[in-house]
Amino acid sequence: MWRYHGDDLGAATARCMAALEAGITLFDTADIYGFDHEHGFGAAETLFGRVLAANPGLRGQIVLASKGGIQPPIPYHQRGEQLIACCEASLRRLNVDCIDLYQVHRPDLLAHPAEVAAALDKLRQQGKIKAAGVSNYTPAQVAALAAHLPFRLLSVQPEFSPLHIAPLFDGVLDQALERNLTVLTWSPLGGGGLVRGAADARTARVAAALDIIAHRQGTTRAAVAYAWAMVHPARPIPLVGSQTPDRIREAADALKVEMTGADWYGVLVAARGTPMP
């Protein structure tokens, strides 16, 4: 829901229903989503809250995830009661009593992980969240937070796509396997670069490698890009950012893609620009 904003309740509802029709039930938002649009900070949550209020049966059909801890113009704030206040504000905007998965959006380098852990624990004990995760954390930051958290950290949310392959090598996905963390990947289409058209030689190479698989299987490049991420044994869940109902429905085609090891490594080699060692 990064681009989820506006006043059109019908259009906002249609996007949600398109996801449900496709079997997509995880809805990921954040308090800062909408900050760069006309309605500003909290806009995405507020709009989704209106959709939930207008469709009483929807809440029970989804896993509701949100994030907090960034407050413009001061980038990150999670000290003391700050993170708790962020979550409580999200609950009000979303018109719900509980968020299924609440994630720290980016690490506050001035907050001791024990402070963050205490806030998450308090929210969980109060029934305001069911589970907690982190977004854009390094493996060391995940370990530091987990050391102070009295319950299991559930998720990690890195940028990961055929264009952004760092999590394969920086320990993020390895740690997810070690700790059994659910991986939610943002920008799985490289910020849309993989479907808009090649802006540089590297993007063109990766798109061509994806197209080889797509043409063979009679599907779209986007579906193959989603499937490429999902093949990894950490089983990443791509977060679909499209605001077009048809594109949202098409995302489910990723589940139909059959990818061999040679296919997968072919895309990786295209992304690296050099053969595997």
* Domains assigned to the chain: 9-272 (3.20.20.100)
Which range is least confidently modeled, 31-35, 153-157, 169-173? 31-35
Positions marked catalytic = 33
| Predicted confidence (pLDDT) per residue in 22-60, tens digit | 999 999 999 999 887 777 899 999 999 999 999 999 999
Model confidence at 74, in pLDDT bands (50, 70, 90)?
confident
Query: Could you tell me which residues come within 8 angstroms of residue 218 by beta carbon, excluding any fewer than 6 positions away?
Result: none
pTM: 0.95
Whether the Cβ atoms of residue 257 and residue 227 lie closer than 8 Å to each other? yes
Whether the Cβ atoms of residue 39 and residue 69 lie closer than 8 Å to each other? no
Residues linked to residue 157 through DSSP beta bridges, in sequence order? 135
The whole-number pLDDT of residue 194 equals 93
Around Cβ 89, how many Cβ atoms within 10 Å? 16
